[in-house]
Amino acid sequence: MTDWASAFGNADMGVEQALADLEREKQKLREVSKIWEESTTIVRAKDNSFSMTFDGRGELTDVSFQGSKYRSLPPAQLAHHIVEAVRQGRNEAMAKVEKVMGTGATGLDFAGVAGGKVDPMEMMNSLLGPMLEGLDGLGMSVPGPSDKGKDKKSE
């Protein structure tokens, strides 16, 4: 990885801090990738009539019924148990990711991204923003997403 702060004579410690934050978050992402690939979560219904297995991303991968107790349950009750187990399994799987990611020093909510509650581009902009501002402070113009397609002659 390029040491941008050294390349510019340590003129702006904000760039150095942003790069350090970026490296910490990248390490967390590596750990999350491992959880997504290797982790499983098993949830059993309260009445022990079935169990569900979830992968590291919280996706349902297996349902296993124990005995025939599920057959004697009223359909509405069985449906309630199924929905409850799916919620619990997803929450437990996401908790494993959240334990690794948390929000960190940068205030980024990776569990929110994983759960679809946070826009990944907003997250990356908040992480890279201090570095880009530091480059602007060094007299370097860094085009942003809003600069795409601008005609250089009109500036």
Contact between residue 57 and residue 41 where contact means Cβ atoms under 8 Å apart: no
In the numeric block, which tokens belong to residue 29?
């992402």
Reported pTM: 0.58
Please determine, for residue 119, whether its predicted confidence score (pLDDT) is greater than 60: yes
Please determine, for residue 149, whether its predicted confidence score (pLDDT) is greater than 50: no
Please determine, for residue 154, whether its predicted confidence score (pLDDT) is greater than 50: no
Higher pLDDT, 72 or 29: 72
Higher pLDDT, 102 or 78: 78
> Domain 4-141, what architecture?
2-Layer Sandwich (3.30)
Cα torsion at 129, 134, 138, 143 (round to 10°)?
-10
Identify the pLDDT of residue 89.
95
Contact between residue 32 and residue 97 where contact means Cβ atoms under 8 Å apart: yes
Please determine, for residue 106, whether its predicted confidence score (pLDDT) is greater than 60: no
Please determine, for residue 105, whether its predicted confidence score (pLDDT) is greater than 90: no
Higher pLDDT, 71 or 141: 71
Q: What is the CA radius of gyration of the chain?
A: 23
Work out the pLDDT band at 15, boundaries 50, 70, 90.
Answer: confident
Q: How far is CA 117 from CA 50, 92, 114, 122, in A?
A: 30, 17, 8, 11
Work out the pLDDT band at 74, boundaries 50, 70, 90.
Answer: very high
Please determine, for residue 128, whether its predicted confidence score (pLDDT) is greater than 80: no
- Of 50-54, 106-110, 138-142, where does the model show the most confidence? 50-54
